[in-house]
Structure 1
Amino acid sequence: MRPGTIAIVLVAAAAHAVWNTVSKYKRGDTVLFVWAYTCAAALLCLPLGIAPVITGAQPVSWQLAAGSAVSAALHVVYSLTLQTGYDRFDLGVVYPVARGTGPVLTMLFAILLLGERPTAIAVLGAVVVVAGIVVVAGNPFRSGQRHPVHGVLWGAATGATIASYTLWDSSSVTSLHLAPVTYFTGTFLLQSLILTPRALRRRGELQTAIRTNAAPILTVAVFSPLAYILVLTAMRTAPVALVAPLRESSIVIGSLLVWRLFHEAHLARRIIGAAIVLAGIAAISL
């Protein structure tokens, strides 16, 4: 992999870790927060997404509409599950578990639904990911209201949604030959439309929620699409099998950020666990 491509993927990983960390600063209603940053992201992506339509590289078709609609529904579930997990439990547990279980469940879904047969090293990688998650979580039976086992369960639920949209998005872009930027722009637009009725039912809280969370909303709206676009750019010149594990270095970056910003405990154990998860993901990619 070229040094420039490696740099692009590492920047994408940092962007992903940043927007996930910033979302922990959210205050107030989860639906309003997700709706607000989704709307902002859609507006920011619109000029890039509409360009292939104007040039004719990506015609408006039922495949684009259907693909974006299903993706939007899956991403709404993902966003709400992720944010609820962050609201209730340590980000240092939920984030690495979510990013680790996503590739494992994607592999399992591919075996069960697509008939794929992974190599022995990929299966070993899945076991290593689970071992890393156990290290990150620590003792799940220690006393306290924020049991790590509950955070692991929310992270695993988020990982399931990651696996779902990963399989669908990959199929949409490769099988339906949809322009990635246009596709994701449509996904963002439809996500905001799906959440609008729920947001309007909370219209009394809307102004306060946006004012209180203005910085996190804008940060997520910029860095979330940026991470997607940079990874897509890297995949043009490098194999997915190399890009995917390198991208998940965001797990280690995220662990450092939550320790520094939120003073979450057990930094050394979580870094070691995150590194084990990363090694497992690399094995799955092989």
Structure 2
Amino acid sequence: MSTTVFLVILLSAVLHAGWNAAVKASGDRTLSMATVSMAGSFMCILALPFVEGPPPEAWPWMFAGFLGSFGTQAILARAYSTGELSVAYPLTRGLAPVTVTAAGALLFAEMPGPLGLAGVVAIALGVALLAADSMRAGGQAGTSTLGLALSAAVITALYTLANAKGARLSASALDYAVWSSVPNGVVWLGVMLVQRRDLKQHLRTDALRSLGGGLVSNVAYVLVLWCMRQAPVALVSALRETSVLFSILMGVFWLEERASAWRWMAGGMICSGLVLLRSA
């Protein structure tokens, strides 16, 4: 993996953890997740005239990616309401690479070497520590968060593979990202209207978070798709999920969540996985 790809993936990881932390910091997580997604989709709608449409063979993968992305966002919004960012987000994002590695070998005929596999395992062990910490300290709330995060992790792995396939079939990562991001916000708008949520009031008080989160999420998405066109999807996915490390830091220093020894040990395991993946 080249240094450029490595650094771009890390940047994408920081951005992804950042906008999720912003959603967690809001008063209404579901409404905030919806408006961030809507803002991102609106930006992509404005960009449609300037990008090339995906080829026909990419559309089924795009649809699958959309379903997975929307499902994950909805589950995460619920998980953020029952648990901490530095537990829910790492569990969701950190477990996905294990599934991606196995499925990627079948879909793309890409199998990481020994160092790459060791890096994926190290990240998985870090996530296991987080899960244990959640179950030990969270009681019933921890169990609920764990179940939601595990569900989101499986869906994340599936839509990661779908988006990687669609992006590789498209002319560029930007083209695919713009087109595939449009439906998400539209569906969120429909859901909020059906639920009779007060979008106007929320946007009046939280417009900056929504617009900033939408922009940051779009940039993070384009960057990771570009990397998946340059390097094996399993390695990109695993390295991208080092965003869990940044979510731990943001949870502790921004959201004032607790910093147990287990959580810091998990962060150390994730860092070791990062080093191994860089060497792969």
TM-score (normalised: structure 2): 0.81
1:76 to 45, 70, 79: 70
The whole-number CA distance in structure 2 between the counterparts of 1:228 and 1:63 is: 21
Matched, 1:192 2:185: yes
Identity %: 24
1:26 corresponds in structure 2 to 26
Query: CA 1:178–1:149 in 2, change beyond 3 Å: closer, same or farther?
Result: farther
Query: CA 1:77–1:226 in 2, change beyond 3 Å: closer, same or farther?
Result: same
The whole-number CA distance in structure 1 between the counterparts of 2:39 and 2:225 is: 21
Q: How many residues align?
A: 279
Give CA deviations for 1:155-193 in whole Å, capped at 9, x if unaligned: 22221111011111111122x335322222222211223
Bigger CA radius of gyration: 1
1:262 corresponds in structure 2 to 255
8 A contact 1:103–1:281 mirrored in 2: no
Q: Give 1:91 deviation, angstroms.
A: 0.8
Query: CA 1:129–1:29 in 2, change beyond 3 Å: closer, same or farther?
Result: closer
Question: Runs (4+) of structure 1 moved beyond 6 Å?
Answer: 112-118, 236-239
Q: Which runs of 5+ in 2 are unaligned?
A: none
1:12 corresponds in structure 2 to 12
TM-score (normalised: structure 1): 0.79
8 A contact 2:239–2:277 mirrored in 1: no
- Structure 1 stretch 164-173 or stretch 37-46: which is displaced more? 37-46
1:276 to 244, 269, 274: 269
Matched, 1:95 2:89: yes
Cα RMSD of the aligned pairs, angstroms, is: 3.4
The whole-number CA distance in structure 2 between the counterparts of 1:194 and 1:178 is: 26
The whole-number CA distance in structure 2 between the counterparts of 1:18 and 1:29 is: 14
Counterpart secondary structure, 1:262: coil
8 A contact 2:16–2:243 mirrored in 1: yes
Q: Give 1:89 deviation, angstroms.
A: 0.5
Matched, 1:216 2:196: no
Query: CA 1:149–1:114 in 2, change beyond 3 Å: closer, same or farther?
Result: farther
Q: Give 1:270 deviation, angstroms.
A: 1.6
The whole-number CA distance in structure 2 between the counterparts of 1:6 and 1:237 is: 11
Q: Which runs of 5+ in 1 are unaligned?
A: none
Q: Give 1:243 deviation, angstroms.
A: 4.9
Give CA deviations for 1:30-55 in whole Å, capped at 9, x if unaligned: 1x4333222211222345453233xx
8 A contact 1:91–1:258 mirrored in 2: yes
The whole-number CA distance in structure 2 between the counterparts of 1:154 and 1:9 is: 26
8 A contact 2:101–2:111 mirrored in 1: no
